[in-house]
Amino acid sequence: MRRALIGVLGAATLLFLTGIASAQMGWGPMGPGMMGLGMGWGPGGGYGCPGSEGFGQAEATPVTEEQAKELAQQYADRYLKGFTVDKVLPFTGMRGATMFSIELKGPKDELRVLHINPWGNVMPFGGPGRRVG
């Protein structure tokens, strides 16, 4: 009886330590980036950013260049008074999805860059410490 108990406790301890190690390394059912599909400001929303509308993105069609320009201008009107869309630069992201890098020009020639993912989420690029202008 004692040998069986020691064997069961040893196996349980090993299983517990394996679970902790796999969680620390990002393995398992909730890997990196699995907490929410959307991050940023826009229809998909996200967490930790101004204007977050919620978590995840159910089903959406990828945004077009015109929609990306409109979303960037809406963001600028709300958070960056006086800024206007200067350039819309499409690029291909993961899985071949088209994303957009938007350059905004300020009233004193300041430059801000936004990133718009295929689902229309708008994210300021670089954070407050890395802004140019």
CB contact at 8 A, 112 and 133: yes
CA 22 – CA 114 distance, rounded (Å): 35
Query: What phi, psi does 37 have (nearest 5°)?
Result: -75, -35
pTM: 0.53
Residue found by looking up tokens 């979303």 in the block: 71
CB contact at 8 A, 42 and 119: yes
Nearest to 69 by CA among 90, 54, 53, 51: 90
Average pLDDT, 10 consecutive residues per value, the chain (133 residues): 88 81 62 46 48 48 94 95 95 89 94 93 73 49
What pLDDT is attached to residue 59?
55
